[in-house]
A = this chain, B = another copy of it.
């Protein structure tokens, strides 16, 4: 059944948005709507323009009869700034400070409308990178990993400290926790990650960066490549064991009495938008 343009526009928008980074060919669309490729091409120009004007993301179109379109999640710098400022305001709250200078963030990392934007923001940074998988550490890194994996449309894998009997054979590494200098062990199910994968490492919170560094060495054990490291929040430390990373917010607490808190934007905007470091 031939479809009307208006119906095609609605369905194509859903179809492309729910399959980020995947190329959909003109042929597929022409079949789906029983319409001429020339009409589909016109539809795609409308989508492209609206996606751009409304800050939804980029629609990459490949010309010609063998061409097609691919939706690439991308957040404009203005929206990113507004979002990061919102996060700063929400976290900048003395009641979030826990004994030892820890900060309560679990509520934010359980809210879909925040996670969706975290995912879009981190996907923006790696817009020009091939990524095969996202890696994180259990438990609180999982929501961040799932959010960005969804926008990149790749699987995510969960590294654990405790060996679970439901994971099968695992690969493990020892790592030094950056802050307390204890030696710990982290492991990942062998079956989770194909060898040679290009991996983005993410976590909810980074202090010295021991966990991130541990995950990076685990990627090495799987003969993979670390594409980058990104965290939701970073804390203040005297020395960091990870050189290159991005953070959305920076949280500073007075760990001695556990009351004061100072929250500022992390290095994301500087690293990504200002230095035009979109990894291209």
Contact = CB atoms under 8 A, between A and B. Distances in A.
Contacts of A56: 11, 14
Contacts of A102: 165-166
A19 B111 CA distance: 12
Nearest to A104: B168
A107 interface: yes
Contacts of A53: 7
29 contacts: A6-B9, A6-B50, A7-B49, A9-B9, A11-B54, A11-B56, A13-B14, A17-B17, A98-B165, A102-B165, A103-B166, A104-B167, A104-B191, A106-B192, A107-B191, A110-B149, A110-B155, A110-B156, A110-B157, A110-B192, A112-B146, A112-B149, A112-B153, A112-B155, A115-B150, A139-B158, A142-B143, A146-B147, A166-B205
A65 interface: no
Interface in A99-132: 99-100, 102-107, 110-113, 115-116
Contacts of A50: 6-7, 10-11
Interface in A164-223: 165-168, 189, 191-192, 205
Residue of A49, A56, A115, A166 with highest tally of chain B CB at under 10 A: A166
A54 B14 CA distance: 10
B116 A150 contact: yes
A138 interface: yes
**Oligomeric state, in number of copies?**
2
Given A110-B192, A139-B142, A160-B139, A168 B7 contact: no
Nearest to A162: B162
Contacts of A99: 165
A46 interface: yes
A36 interface: no
Contacts of A150: 112, 115-116
A110 B205 CA distance: 21
A51 interface: yes
A51 B112 CA distance: 22
Contacts of A138: 138-139
A7 B45 CA distance: 10
A98 to B, nearest CB: 5
A166 B140 CA distance: 10
Given A98-B165, A110-B157, A160-B139, A7 B46 contact: yes
Contact of A113 (B49, B139, B153, B189): B153
A249 interface: no
A11 B50 CA distance: 7
A12 to B, nearest CB: 8
